[in-house]
Each structure stands twice: as C-alpha cells, then as structure tokens.
A and B are shown apart, each in its own frame.
Chain A
C-alpha cells in the first residue's frame, strides 16, 4: 500500500475542495492574481477536472498598477491553457485618478476591494476561489476553507459556520456568496516545492534579475514604468532583486537576491527570517488591518 506524501495530501485536499464547489455551487469563479499561489490554484483546477477544462471562468482584478510582466504572463497562460480569463477594472476609480501614491489605503479599497465586489456582482458569481493560506497572517489563520459572505460581501469572524471533516456546507440564500480557499493548509514552502515538483510556470519576477529599484521606508520598490513619481534626488539603481509576493508594483517590496532557480529560491525561503507578507506594504499599516479589510469584503 502506497503512502501519500505531504504534498500529495495537500494536493488531494485542494482538488477535493475544488470539485465540491464545481459540483454544488451555482456559479463559481476562480480569482486569479497572477502570483505563485494563483499559479498553483490554476494548476490544481486543470488537474481536478481533467480531461475536462475547469467548468468555471477565472477572474483577474486589474488595478492598472500591476507589474508589466504579470499582465503578459496572464494573457499568455490563458491562451496556452484555453481557459476563460475575465479581467475587471474599477473604471470609476481610474477616471478619478486613484493611485497608490496619493491615496494610500483608499487606493486598496477602491481599486481592489470595491473592484472585486463590483466584478462579483456584475457576473453574479455565488462562489469565488481564492489562494489565501492560513500561514500568511493571523486573521487568515482563523478563517474557514468555505468562508461565508453576507449580502454586503462582508465576513463575520465571530460567527463562522462550523466546518466538519470534508462536509462543506455550500448552501446560501440569494445575494450571499462564499469565498473558498482550497490551499488554506499550504505553507509558503509547500507552494514552492509543489511548483518545482509539478514544473508550474510562474512569473519571471519571482527569480532574481537586475531591475531598476528605489529604497523607500525599508522597502525595495521597483520602478516598473514612468508613472512612478521619483522624489527629489531619487535615482533608480539597477539591483539584483526578486519578489516573494506579487501585487501592485508600487506596493510590493522586493528583496535583494541572486536566486535564479527554484532550488535557490527554496533554499532562501527555508533559511529566511522574515515571513512573506512583511514585503507587502499594506499589511504593516496597523494591527488587525487584514481582518478589517476582510470584513469590508477584501478577499
């Protein structure tokens, strides 16, 4: 009798969850952020339904401030796999010129949280897969795999539905929805090891390369296009950097690194002394900020 490895078990759990949603939920969608966790999710979805294609579309919330490499990667992978990729941008926010430099927390709210809510409403999705992991942040560690959202798409952390064994309750009333996190139990190390084992394509930004960067408030920020307002005397330097998480380029801190292969990345990750979300500028704002955003409808 063969014994499943740790990664096999995580894969089986995620596939079970993805199939349950496809079988029971009326109109599912998979959120696709182009990052490594999303790449793993997409890969799992392709495996879960083979020889069928995933019976749901993918949705990318484009804030218009993503790294250029991310957008190219998104379009290439959708074409290669033949999946339906929806892209949604909060045009209202674009018109008002909302940007990460001048609007801080409001930017995240308008271009991410509100955009996501608008997109889910527009298409009438009843269940949305997300790539959240419980090891990322303390309020995520408390969230169920099937996380219920009320009509205002808000999370009520004090009153979560019990979730027993593999018996996921997918019942909702009209207007309500569920966020589903199939890789809840994966750690960052699991993600990298799975990417390596399965040879999953990821955005090149995860690998070290010489990139133009500036140093701000302890973060290394890449100057990805000429919309980046340089401060007086600030000159982008070419440094060998890579990114542990990917988001909007002005809000994503890189790390100095020479890791250009998956092996080197895994080595760096294992010996790393800071958890990955520290390089996300928004997470460090205030204690409980993630929970607050989730209550308001952030993924």
Chain B
C-alpha cells in the first residue's frame, strides 16, 4: 500500500471541484450511510438542479449552501484498498484565494480543474502559480465537463496545448492530463466509454498510484527549537521536530544563530530514550555543554545553514489592508517570531502573464517579490534548499492578521561575518556586540539594531570606543558572558583577553557583551554577578539583567532612516 497522499482540488469557480470529490467519495462507497442519507435529503431541499448534488458533501458552511459556492477549504479523509487520502477542496472565487493557498501549503499534489467549454482561465493560471509558489511539485489537470463539449478530442487537444504553455511558463515538472466529467462520472473512478480516444487511466487510479516521495532529501540535519524543556536544574532539553536527516547520540552539532558546537548527550523520541532519531520525529535533545539556545534557534549537523538578517521572498498578500513598503511586521519563520520590515517591493507578478510589474504597494491576492530586513540575524535558507527555514508568514502588529505568506528566494550574503569573533587570543574567542548600533527607525517607528562590518581584534590592537550610538571610556573591561571571556582595554588598546574564571575587577568601568554598564564596583560584586549568571535557569532572565546592567551609561539610541 502506498503512503498517505495529501492533495487539493483547485481551479476556477464552477469548474466542479466539490462535485468531483463528492463523486469520488460517493462512487467508491466512501461515505457513511447516514451522510448519504443527509446528502439525498439536502439535495431535495436546496440543490441547484434536481439530481443528487455531490458538492453538498463538502460545502459544509451555511453560507456556502445558501450561495452555492465554496468559501473555505474543506478537508476530507478517505481510504481505498490501495491508499489513504486527505483531500482539501478549495474555493475557486478570486475573493477566497487565500483559502485556496491554505490548502496548497498542505498538499503534495494539486488536481487543477478546467472547464472543457471554457479552457484555461485567469483563475486557473493564478491557482497553478500559487500551487507552484507553495511548493507543490505534482499536478493533475482534470479537463472537466467533457460531456458539455460532446467528448470532443479536438477540443481536448486545444486545451492540452494551453496547459503545455502554462507548464513551460511555470516550470512545472510533473503533470498529467485527464479528460473527464464529474457529474456524469466519466474517468473519475472508472474509465469512460464515452472517451475511447483517451489512453490514460481514470483520476482515482492515477491518485492511487502516483509517486510523490521522489522529492530530493535536504542536506544534513536540522531541528528548529520549539521550546526548552527544563523540569529541574539537572535537565535542559531542546524540543522540536527533525526537519531533515538524522541525529545520533555523540554527534557534533552546531547551534544557530549562536554558532556554538556541542555533542548530543541524550535523545528522547517523545518519552523514550533512543540512540538515533530521524526526519519527521518529535524529539527532545540534550547536549554535553551549555549553549545559547532558546525557542527560535536551530540545531544543525552537516549543513551549510547560516544566519542572515536580510532576505528576498516571493509573497502572496492575503490581507484586506494593503502592503506598503517600509511597514514593519512580525515575521514567523521556522519557530522564530521576529520583528521585520518589508524594506522594498522589488516587483509585483501579474498572475495571468507572469510579467514583472513595478509596484510600491500590494493588494489582496497579489503576488510580489520583496526584500525583508529582520531585527537581527536568524537561521534562514532558500525554500528550495531547506524548506522549513524558507517558509514565512507576515503578521500585522495591530490586527494580528496573517497578512502574507511567502517563500525565501535568496538571502543576503553578508552573514558570514556573523560567525566571525571580534576578540581573539589563542583559543579564546568572544563576540563583539559592543559595536552594535541601536537606532530608532523613522520609517517603521521601531527600535532596531545592526552590526557594522566586523573586524577582529587581539591583544595590542586599538578598538573604536565611539560609534553612532555608543561611547565607552578609554579604559574599561568587557565581560562577554555567553563566551565566558573578559577583554581588558586600557587607553583604547586591548591589554589582555582572559577566561572569566581568571578575571578579577581592575578598578575600571565594566560593560557586558552588549556594552551595557555592569553595576559592580568591586571584585566581590563581579564574582557575585558571574556566579548568579552561571546559576540562571534561562540566559534570557530579565530580572537578572534588570538587576545588574544599565543600558544608557555608554549607549544611546540613534535616529536613522534605513
């Protein structure tokens, strides 16, 4: 028996999507008797024609029955002798395109219906384009209502030509074309005698046998962290679902965006200890050392994954309120939710022709390619390389609406810098967040920060103690807690870099890794500060920072328009 097939039906209004699925369920005796009874009763009460109206099986909302249309996606579950299916029946009206996209994001295969008397319509092209955008690789074009064109082969051939054009334009790799009639049952579950010139298989048979597992494996292992499990101070596990590859106890992993290395100590597959876990499994992983990982971070192995702050994405706009370049949204990508600005709309895409149109705004159901600037670098990749880290939604900060969905097309390559340490001496490395610039962005009305081009400094080097949003004393010490490293600066020169365990207070001001003043003026207090930090349950503990550090001693917020 083949694995589960998740598919959608889409196409223009009245192309007969719900009727087609209703007919499959009915023919294959896949509906329960009482639903069948309800269906017949419903038909008598409120159908558009006199016969059984198969679409009533799926159009379950009152408004849908009243208007005779599909508004939202319906999910149906059925099993034949050969395969289990989940089908999402999606609305054809342009108004409800976003609901169609919801179905597309979930499916492995799309059945796109085309009315034989109408041919390929704008809405057909829109749906095919969105399916492709959302990552669907397998397409069946069901040329429906063949009975209305007298089962004409020449009409079918004309439509095949239109489909081939669409295929070439959208670079669809796997397509199958079937002439059928959903109301009459031609080529739905059994091969039609009315269409003898068709040599292929009927729709259901095709769906039962099509292979959708062929999609290439993604490179390496990655696990976006959903939550940190901390039942007591002895256990700190990272929980999430493995998105690709496998992981075994003892493997070396790399964390993103903190770029730390550690080894896997224990793997729990839900509540069971395992030695190895695979793609798709929900796990809890513990590591052999403390790393800077919280929800939204990613644990990786054997990948080229990295952190980026700027990306380009193809997005589908789904909000009644239009998108305007420069507006700030919440971006959800993987398990990370972060502030981000749609800094530029590069171009909008004409859903019909695929043409690129210059645009500075985007309205509902429109597709565009835009640049998104995130508040800080996070693990992200191209949709085509690591799917889960290339999918995103934009959430409106006021209405909380899911305003857009999109896929990452490219990332800005400045990210390698993020890996580079700023302070290095022998094997000691520490990050240089003290050089980050904090600024109030006048277009998004948000406080953001960015890291200027990174330099690496070692003992004897002179460092810039003044930037646009910071001014440190000429002599001070930096304690980078996350790297357990202290840097001593005298007369703007680095005089030493030591592990925090060997650090003692030197009578000069002390800042933390981000350049905030540490409120400690004696060695005793410094040691207390370090020991409290090492006992923290979470390194994001706000109380700890509120007690120990002060932002505005050496820092301020600059005003910029980026």
- Inter-chain CA distance A165–B400, complex, in Å, is 18
Show the binding face of A for B, using Cβ within 8 Å: 1-4, 6, 8-9, 11-12, 15-16, 19-20, 22-24, 46-53, 134-135, 137-142, 144, 157-158, 160-167, 169, 171-173, 184-185, 187, 189, 272-275, 278, 287-288, 291-292
A139 touches B72 (CB 8 A): no
Beyond the given pairs A3-B3, A141-B75, 9 more chain A to chain B contacts, judged by CB atoms under 8 angstroms and listed by A's residue number, are A1-B279, A23-B295, A46-B271, A48-B239, A142-B61, A157-B61, A161-B402, A162-B98, A275-B32
Q: Does B500 contact A (CB under 8 A)?
A: no
Chain B residues near A3 (CB-CB < 8 A) = 3
Contact of B84 (CB < 8 Å), options: A6, A157, A173: A6
- Inter-chain CA distance A286–B444, complex, in Å, is 51
Chain A residues near B99 (CB-CB < 8 A) = 160, 162
The majority secondary structure among interface residues of chain B is mixed
B401 touches A52 (CB 8 A): no
- From known contacts A50-B271, A52-B231, A162-B102, infer whether A141 and B74 are also in contact, taking CB-CB under 8 Å: yes
Contact of A171 (CB < 8 Å), options: B98, B230, B270, B400: B400
Chain B residues near A172 (CB-CB < 8 A) = 400
Chain B's closest residue to A24 (CB) is: B337
A253 → chain B closest CB, angstroms: 12
A2 touches B227 (CB 8 A): no
Q: Does B328 contact A (CB under 8 A)?
A: no
Instruction: List, sorted by A's number, 12 A–B pairs whose CB atoms are closer than 8 Å.
Output: A9-B4, A23-B227, A49-B239, A134-B75, A139-B60, A142-B61, A142-B74, A162-B101, A164-B105, A171-B400, A287-B45, A291-B62
B33 touches A273 (CB 8 A): yes
B62 touches A288 (CB 8 A): yes
Chain B residues numbered 235-269 whose CB sits less than 8 Å from any CB in chain A = 235, 237, 239-241, 246, 268
Spot the interface stretch: B149-157, B280-288, B299-307, B520-528.
B280-288
Q: Does B530 contact A (CB under 8 A)?
A: no
- From known contacts A51-B268, A169-B400, infer whether A141 and B58 are also in contact, taking CB-CB under 8 Å: yes
A50 touches B270 (CB 8 A): yes
The majority secondary structure among interface residues of chain A is loop
- From known contacts A185-B77, A273-B32, infer whether A51 and B402 are also in contact, taking CB-CB under 8 Å: no
A187 touches B77 (CB 8 A): yes
B71 touches A158 (CB 8 A): yes
Q: Does B35 contact A (CB under 8 A)?
A: yes
Chain B residues near A173 (CB-CB < 8 A) = 400
Chain B residues near A53 (CB-CB < 8 A) = 231
Chain B residues near A23 (CB-CB < 8 A) = 226-227, 295, 335
Chain B's closest residue to A166 (CB) is: B388
A164 touches B73 (CB 8 A): no
A217 → chain B closest CB, angstroms: 15
A157 touches B270 (CB 8 A): no
A179 → chain B closest CB, angstroms: 16
